[in-house]
Every structure is written in C-alpha cells, then in structure tokens.
A and B are shown apart, each in its own frame.
Chain A
Amino acid sequence: MSGLDAVGLSILGLVVTFVSLVAWRRTRSTTVDYFLAGRRTGVVTNAGAICGDYLSAASFLGVAAAVYASGLDGVWYATGFAAGFVPVLLFVAAPLRRLGTVSLADFLAVRFDSDRVRFAAVVAVELVILSYLVPQAVGSGLTWDLLVGEGIAGLSPYATGVVVSTLAVSGIVVIGGMRGTTWNQALQFGFLLAVVIWLAALLWAGGFSYPGAVEEVSADPLEVAVEDELEQVPDRLQGGEARFGEPGGRYGPVGQLALLITLVLGTAGLPHVMNRYFTAATGRAARTTTVWVLGLAGSFYALAVMLGTATRTLVAQHADEPWLAALTVDGVLRVPEHALLVLGRLLGGTPGLAVVAAAAFAAMVSTIGGLLIAAAASFGHDVVGRILRPYGGPREAVLAGRAAVVLVSALAAVIALVVEPTRLLSTFPSVIATMVTWAFALAGSALTPAVLIGIWWRRATAAGAEAGIWVGGALAVGSLVVGLVTEASPADGLGAVLLAPTLIAAPASALTIVVVSLFDQSTGVRPHVWTRLHGTADDRQAERLAWMTLRGDR
C-alpha cells in the first residue's frame, strides 16, 4: 500500500467515525429512532443513502469490469440494476412507507395480520442479508490483501481485511444506528459519484470520444485473457465471434432474460434497500425519493459503462508500460475487475489509484452498514420485539438489534474466513457479483411476490402469503444449489434459469399466493390496514405539521 492509499483510507475512516459519533449523540433508544432515524430522513439524503446502500463493490468495480470483458452484454448488468427501481416506484415505495412499519418482515406481518408470515419473512430476510453480506466480507479481505498485503496480530492479510472491516462496520452501526448509517451511506455515494464524474472529466479533458472508442474496440473480435493467452469470445446469439458493441458476448436469449428478471424483481425484495423507505417522512416522500434514485443511479451507471469502454481502449494503448504489462496479456487485462483501478492510475497516476481504491472501500462499507442495520431491525424488532418478547419494550428491541449486528457480522466473517480465498482470487470479484445475484434471486422469488400482491390485492390472505414465501424461497435456493452442484453455465438455457431462478420461482410464488388465498376461507386484508396502505391522511398531516413548523406556528 502506498502512502497515498493509506491517507485515502484513513480520511475515509475518520469521516465515517465522526459521522457515526454525531449520529450516536442524536439517537435515542427507541425503535423508531434507532432503526428508522426518527422517520425524518429528507428526500435527497435518503436517495443518496439508498444509492450508497445499493451500490456495493460489485457495482462499483463490477459494472466497469463487465463492460470491459463483455461489451454490450456487460452493459445490461448496469441497466438491470437501475431498472429495478422502476417497479419499486410504481408499485411499492409509497404504500410500503404508509403502513408505518419498521422492517420488510414487519410490513408483511402487519399487512397479513400474521406472525407466521412474519416468521417466514424473517427467515427469507436473514438469508438474503447473509447472501449479500458474505461476499462483501470476502471482498474486504481480498481488497486488503491486494492493496495492503500485510496482516495484523498474526492474521493473514485476507483474514485481517475480513476482521477489520467487520469490526469497524459493526461498531459504526451499533453506535450510529440508522441515522449514522444513513448519513454515511449518503456521503459515501456522493464520493462514489464524484469519483466517476472526476474520471469522466479527466477523459474528456484528454480528448476522449465515446462513440470513437466504441468504434475502435468493436473493430476486432472481443477477446478475454485466460491464464497467459487470449481467447476469442463466442457470439451466443448469432454464432461466430462476439464484438464489443454488439449483443451476444455474455448471454444467449434465455440468459439475458433470466438476469434481467432477477435484477428487476430482486430490488423490491432487498431488505436493506426497502428498509430505507421506512425512514422517509411520508409515502409521497418515499415515491419522490425513488425518482431521485432513478436519476442518481442512472447517472452513475451510465458513467461507469463509459469508463469500462474507455478502459478497453486505454489499456490496449498503454500495455507496454511496465506496471501495466504485468496486469495484461497482449493489451487485455487478466482480471477485468481491475479495470476501474487501472483507469484511475492511467488518468490520475498513483493518487488516482488511491482515490479509486478508497471509493471501492467506501462502496463496501456503505453496503455492509445497510445490511447490518436491516439485520438489526429484523431480529430486534421482528424476532425479539414481536415474537419472543412482545412486552419487552423498545429498549429491549434496540438492545437485541445491536446484539444482532454483532452476531450477524461475526457469522458473515466466520463464513468468509472459512471460504478458501486463494480459490476465489482468480475470479475476484466476479464471485462477489455472482453471490450478490443470488441474493437478488432469493429476494425476488421469496419476498417480492408477497410484497406486490399484498399491496395491490385485497383478497390475498396470510395463508397464501406464507405459502408463497416458502415456495418462492425453497425454489430459489433449490435451483441455485442444483445449478452450483452441476456446474451449470449461466450464459443460456437451463443453466441460466438455475443460476438466476427468479424467472420460474417468482411466478411460482405468486401463483401459490393467489391459489391458496382463493381457497382460503379468511377474508383478506383488514379494512383499516388497506386504508393506511393506500390513504394519504398521514402524509397530509405530516406535511401540514412540517409546514406549520417552518412557519413557526404553535
């Protein structure tokens, strides 16, 4: 690690610690304050925090890498991530906030008036959180290994990265709660966006032409480095050789559809992202927040795609530089995930590399923070506060939530330490992106159908929702296990469906909810719950109070 890397990471650590301490001073031990930041998060702050939550290292390094390696088919990764917020805006954001619950499992439990639904949802939520958390911990270890290269207290560099990141982020979340996590995530997303804008500005200042770059890299067949040789990428749509600017470099028709459905439906079921909507002041604010997210995330992804394209041309032009020659085979990067780091050094020298590395850490830290606070809300509020000790009071729920942060982060760290890092290093962080896709698949299969149907169909019953969650979750997990055991190819055909199972599991879950509800004798949603979901009385009241406060009325 260079001195500049150390300075960059130290500044990041100091800012995060300062923000968490300020948040701790303002946080009281109440459920709404610790888990939901008092439900007073502003629209732009919340949008930034959602983006910080959503954009993990897999997004920050992975999108540019996917574009670098696969051209147009890699661009679909970014498009799918951004597209996921359109259904959230249309179907979920405002009603989700208006019911006034604390977590995604709490939302489903209140809507269906059932603790059995709460339990099923908590199981699905915790599985999604672990699926997301383990790859982030693995990524922290591998990034520490790559950049620092030294261990502490007898630990290997990889183990040091896992332990340090886990301890640091869990400490931040225990201290700062949702308020500290929100501020940190918003700041860290601002940093990520500033970094990609800065890199784009450096490119344009150097006379970069985006259309010209696409033309240049599309002139020859697409190649990837496999060990010490280049291999041409097959065109999975038309046959022959794939080209950068044309589809077919990564997926066949089924593979592309399976990935898109998984990313689009998965977003609405991600507990750490959906929990952020409960911190909005009103349902209208939650909806407006999503519009901001579409703008901010879209800008980020569009720039990341351009940077991946630019890296393809610049690396080829500078491949004879000694430091880059070690990372490439005939002008093609050995590890595509190095694309943004290499671009940082090509455009900004060593300081540029330090800035991009700090941004990668920021992406990981903000996502881990969001996952841990979601785990805290799910365990503290839903399991302890509602199922195990319903009369324990908010202080006990918050205490249980803080304990859950420590337990879940320790569990993720242990799993990350058990995973053999040397086996993963060759594909890092493709493994991270892949595991994150599994989390999307599980969320989209188990939780999203119940959320969507619960919001928009009065007749949906608790028995239907419970069955749907178990069926969707079991199908998703089963498909993934079969896909992994049989080493199925995610590119197309049955393998694509097995490794991105939302395509079959979400319809199966939805069908289960509908059929079981129709055969169920109970009456569906309680009238006052429906009124809270779709009424705006709370919104109007809150807006009026805010207006009166602004005017100084008593």
Chain B
Amino acid sequence: MARLEIGPGDPRWLKEFDGPDEVAAAARTQRRIAVGYGLVFVVGVLAVPALSLTLPWWSQSRLLGGMSPSFVTVAGGLYVFFLVLGISAARLARSVEGRMLGTSDDDEPAL
C-alpha cells in the first residue's frame, strides 16, 4: 500500500486505506461485471464463425460492394465492438470503485 512507501513519519500516512469488507464486496461486484462483459465478448466473437457455419447468406451475400456481412464484421466491426465494450466496461468498473471504495474512513486499515 501507499503508506508502506510513504512511511509512518509522513503526514500523509494513513490518509487513504480500504477496509477488508468493502474491498471484498467491491471485488465481488467487479467480478460480476467482468464476467458479464466477458460473456458478451465471447458471444460477440464466436457468433461470427457460428453464423458462417449455419447461415449461408452471412458470408455469401453482399452488404457493401463485394463485402459480405461476415467480412464487414471481421475486418472492421469487431474492432469497434472491442473498443465500445472496453470503454463501457472501464467506465462501469471505475464508477463501481468510486461508489464502493474509499468511503469508510473509520474502518481499520487492512494491514
């Protein structure tokens, strides 16, 4: 923790700490968020080859010039999907941390 680096002689010592209970609760929430977004990621990525195997129009029809829906998705759409998913997950994770951690100043420090 930061106080290990700052040292007890420093006036900032123990200014910031997290209680074990609030960290445990935050970790559980973060795990639910990560798993939820992870499932969306897996479904989004695996849907593309799955559609190629099951629906001929997905890879044989033409959406944009000579590009099939499959080509458009793999060559560009998935990168946008990854970025949007990443931004959304990072914002939610930060928001959860802000709401669940650093609020119980009277707790005992975790050391």
Chain A residues close to B by CB (< 8 Å)? 72, 75-76, 79, 82-83, 85-87, 89-91, 94, 209-219, 237, 245-247, 253, 256-257, 260, 264, 284, 287-288, 290-291, 294-295, 298-299, 301-302, 305-306, 456, 527-528, 530-542, 544-545
Contact = CB atoms under 8 A, between A and B. Distances in A.
A217 B64 CA distance: 14
Contact of B41 (A76, A90, A536): A90
Interface string B40-55: 0100010001001100
Given A253-B49, A287-B93, A537-B1, 18 more contacts: A79-B74, A79-B78, A85-B86, A91-B34, A211-B66, A215-B66, A247-B49, A253-B53, A256-B49, A257-B49, A260-B45, A290-B86, A291-B90, A298-B83, A527-B110, A530-B27, A537-B101, A541-B2
A54 to B, nearest CB: 14
A256 B27 CA distance: 34
A86 B86 contact: yes
A291 B83 contact: yes
A135 to B, nearest CB: 26
A534 B26 contact: yes
A306 B67 CA distance: 12
B74 A540 contact: no
User: Dominant SS at the B interface?
Assistant: helix
Most central of A85, A90, A290 by chain B CB within 10 Å: A90
8 contacts: A94-B93, A210-B67, A247-B59, A264-B45, A291-B86, A298-B80, A534-B26, A541-B12
Nearest to A540: B16
B7 interface: no
A195 to B, nearest CB: 19
User: Dominant SS at the A interface?
Assistant: helix
B2 A91 contact: no
A269 to B, nearest CB: 16
Interface string B1-45: 111001000001001111010011011001100100110010001
Contact of B38 (A87, A257, A536, A541): A87
Contacts of B37: 90
A535 B23 contact: yes
A291 B17 CA distance: 27
Contacts of B62: 215
Contacts of B34: 90-91, 456
Given A89-B90, A291-B90, A536 B67 contact: no
Nearest to B89: A90
Contacts of B70: 72, 246-247
A253 B50 CA distance: 9
